[in-house]
Amino acid sequence: MIIDIHAHLWGHSYKENKIQLLKSAELFGFDRIYISSIMSYDPDEEEIDMLNNLTLGFMKEEPDLIGGFVYLNPKQSNSVEIMNRAIDEGMQGVKLWVAVLCDDERVNPIAENCMKSDVPMLVHSFHKATGQLESETVSTQVRNLALRYPELRIIMAHMGGNAYHGLRCISDLPNVYPDISGTPIGKGEIDYAVNQVGVDRLLFGTDMPYGGRQCVAQVEDSSLSEKDKEKIYYRNSMKVLGIE
Amino acid sequence: MELNNIDYNCFIGKWPFSWARQTDLDKLGIIHEAHGIDSGYVSCLDSVLYNDPMEGNLELAKFIKNTLYEMVPCMNPLLPNPERDFRISYESFDYRAVRIMPTVHGYDLDDPNLLEFAEIAASRQKGLIVHTTFGDPRLDYLLLQKPINLMKLPKLLEKTVDTPLLLCNIRLNEISELNDVLETYENIYIDMSELKHSMFSIEHLKEKGLLGRLVFGSFYPMFDFSGAYVHFRGADENTRDRILGNNIFQRGIK
C-alpha cells in the first residue's frame, strides 16, 4: 500500500494534472493521494475558494483515490471559517505554502483549529542556497511553530528542501513529520533522514505533478527493511491523518 | 566491443560533502548489472573538485583498464594549457569523450577558454559531456554553482559540429527551450538524470521526436540510481531499449 501525502493540482493546469495523477497512481500503485490545489504565492479569497473547489471536485470524482487538504492564506481573516467548511466536506488537513512564514502569528488560529479538529498541517519548507522567496518557510520556522504547539501534527514538506539542512532542526520534535516529496533525490538521503528522525516519522509524498516518480526510487534504493519501507509508504501517514 | 545498454552519467569515487555519495567500481557494477546496464561512461567524482583533475583521472584509469567501462576524464577548461590534459590522457588510457562541469568550475558556454578547449577536443575527435548543473543548485549550500546560459550553447556547438555533445543533468523545461538548437544541430544529445522534475518526460520527448537524442544517465552516486531508471516505468520495451542502447560515442569517434 502507498499513500502519497503531498500532491497538487495547479490552478492553471488542473485538467492535465488530474490525468497525470491518475496515470501515476496506476503505474506506481498509489492507493491514496492527498492533494491541495495551489496557484499564486499570495492568493486572494476568490482564488482560495476556486482552488479549494478544484480539490473538492477531484475528491468527489475519485473518492477512493483522492483525499484533500484545504489550502489557506493565513493573511485572510476568514481562514478558520474556510477550513471548517472544508473539513465538513471531507478534507483531512491544512496546506500552507508561501503566503506567510509558518511561524507568523497569523498562523496561530489555524494551528489551534487544526488541533481542535484533529487534522495535520502540511507546511511547505524549502531551504534554497540560491535564495528564498520572501515568505518561504525553512525548518527553523517549522521548529518555532512546533515548539509553540507541541500537540499540532506538522508535516514538514520536502524534508526541508535539503535534508542535511532541514532535518537537524526538527529531529528532537516528535510532532514534526518530514515528507520526502519534491526534488531531493541525493543518494542516501532516506537513510540519512531515518538516522536523524527515526523511521516512525518519515512520510511518503511526491509533490506531483512537479516530478514525483523519483520519490518511489528513493525509498526502494534505501537500505531499509520492507517493514520500515511500509512505515514510510503508508503506516506513518495513517497515524498523522488519524486513520489508524 | 559493441556495448548494449549504457549509463553515460556515472562516477566512482567520493563527493566530499556527503558520506553517502561515494561508490567504487564493484558497487557500480553490481547496481548496473541489477538493472541490465552493460557499461558506463565513468568519471572520477573526486576529480571534479581537484585543483588538477588529471590526478583523479589517472587513478581512475587504473581501475577502468581491462573492464567494459569507458574512461571519461574530467577536465577544467579554465586551467592553462588544456592541450596538456588531452596529451596525458592520450598517453595514459583509451577514451572517447571528456567531461566538463561549467557550473562547478565557473564559466559560461561562450567562455573563450571553453571554446578553445572544445576545438582541441573536436580536433582529436573526442565527444564532449557537459553537465548543465552538478546536482540541484538550490540544495547545495557548501558549493554554490554558477548558473550557465543554455542559449549560448550554439557558440559551443559551432566548435563541435563533427563530434557528439551530450548535455547531462538538463531539465525538461530547458530541453524545450533548446528546441531550435536541437533541430539545427544533429550532434547534440541529452541524458535522463534530471527528468525527475517533470512527469512523463520520456513520453513528452517521444512526442517531440527527440527519442533518438535521449540517452540513459543516472548521475550515480550523486543521485539514487533508480531516480532516473524509474522513468522507464510505463514506457514500452522498444522505447526503453532504444534509449539504453543509444550508443552515441561509438559513431565515428576515435
On whether residue B233 sits in a domain, the answer given is yes
Residue contact A188–B199, C-beta within 8 A: no
Residue B190 has which C-alpha cell?
Answer: 541529452
What pLDDT, on a 0 to 100 scale, did the predictor assign at position B3? 56
Phi, psi of B119 (to 5 degrees): -65, -40
In this prediction, residues A138-151 reach a mean pLDDT of 98
CATH number at residue B136: 3.20.20.140
The parent domain of residue B62 ranges over: 6-250
What total number of domains does chain B contain?
A: 1
Closest-CA residue of chain A to B140 = A129
B1 part of a folded domain: no
pTM of the predicted model as reported, rounded to 2 decimal places: 0.95
Nearest to B40 by CA among B129, B110, B109, B105: B129
**Would B182 be classed as within a structural domain?**
yes
Does residue B19 fall inside a structural domain? yes
**Which candidate from A165, A185, A210 shows the least CB-CB separation from B141?**
A165
- Rounded to whole angstroms, the Cα distance separating B174 from B132 reads 10
Cβ–Cβ contact A136 with B under 8 A: no
Beta carbons of B224 and A214 less than 8 Å apart: yes
pLDDT of residue B124: 95
Q: Do the chains contact at A27 and B227, CB–CB below 8 Å?
A: no
Query: What ipTM score was computed for the predicted complex, to two decimals?
Result: 0.91
Mind giving me the DSSP string for B153-208? HHHHHTT-TTS-EEEES--HHHHHHTHHHHHH-TTEEEESTTGGGSSSHHHHHHHT
- Say which CATH number the domain at A103 has: 3.20.20.140
Instruction: Round to whole Å and give the CA distance between B252 and B126.
Output: 10
Residue range of the domain that includes A84:
3-241
Which grid coordinates are listed for B5? 545498454
CA atoms within 13 A on the CB side of A94: 31
Per-residue pLDDT, B161: 86
* pLDDT value of position A210: 84
Mutate to test the interface with A, among B12, B138, B219 (most CBs of A within 10 A): B138
> Are A218 and B227 in contact (CB < 8 Å)?
yes
Q: Phi first, then psi: what are they for B102, rounded to 5°?
A: -60, -35
Tens place of pLDDT per residue across chain B (254 aa)? 455 899 999 999 999 999 999 999 999 999 999 999 999 999 999 999 999 999 999 999 999 999 999 999 999 999 999 999 999 999 999 999 999 999 999 999 999 999 999 999 999 999 999 999 999 999 988 999 999 999 999 999 999 988 999 999 999 999 999 999 999 999 999 999 998 878 888 988 999 999 999 999 999 999 999 888 888 888 889 999 999 998 888 764 55
Residue B102 lies in a domain: yes
How many folded domains does chain A comprise? 1
Q: Does any domain span residue B109?
A: yes
- Please indicate whether, in this complex, the C-beta atoms of A221 and B220 are within 8 angstroms of each other: no
Question: pLDDT, tens digit, for every residue of A162-183?
Answer: 999 999 999 999 999 999 998 6
Question: Is the per-residue pLDDT at A213 higher than 80?
Answer: no
- Collect all residues with Cβ–Cβ distance below 8 Å to B191 and sequence separation of at least 6: B8, B9, B166, B167, B168, B169, B170, B214, B215, B216, B217, B228
pLDDT of B2: 54
pLDDT given at position A184 = 63
